Amino acid sequence: MSDRIEIRALRVLGTHGVLPEEQARSQPFELDIDIETDLAPAAASDQVTDTVDYGAAVDLARRVVETHRYALMETLAARVAEVLLADARASAVTVTVRKLRPPVAADLASAGVTIRRSR
């Protein structure tokens, strides 16, 4: 399917990481999300009930980042995808998670992972 809903640069504070200091305080994460779904019904009806509501998807993703703790970004991304795939209209979800302040001794803007999950 080539139809998709795009959510870009969702910034959320979360407590995720392997290091003790990452588990002790929140840090900024950025998410990009693609939800593959058939957009034809919504295009024809002009009704939000015929599509995946991106506002609801943002709220779900934000809650996963804010309320859970994971050591790995891989686990965080997989959990966000799993929650979003609970909407039967979503056939696949791609989630990119970036840690905006990675704890490395280098001038690095971000470190991240991208996963894709489908039915």
**pLDDT (tens digit per residue) in 64-116:** 999 999 999 999 999 999 999 999 999 999 999 999 988 888 999 999 999 99
pLDDT value of position 2: 86
- Coil/strand/helix, residue 49: helix
Show the domain range for 104: 4-118
What is the number of residues in the chain? 119
Domain count, the chain: 1
Give the closest residue to 66 by CA, choosing from 103, 21, 100, 28: 28
- Residue 84 belongs to a domain with what CATH number? 3.30.1130.10
Catalytic residue (one of 35, 99, 105, 109) = 99
pLDDT tens by residue, 50-66: 999 999 999 999 999 99
Mean pLDDT of the 30-53 span: 97
93 noted as active-site residue:
no
User: Which residue from 117, 99, 109 is spatially nearest to 12, judged by alpha carbons?
Assistant: 99
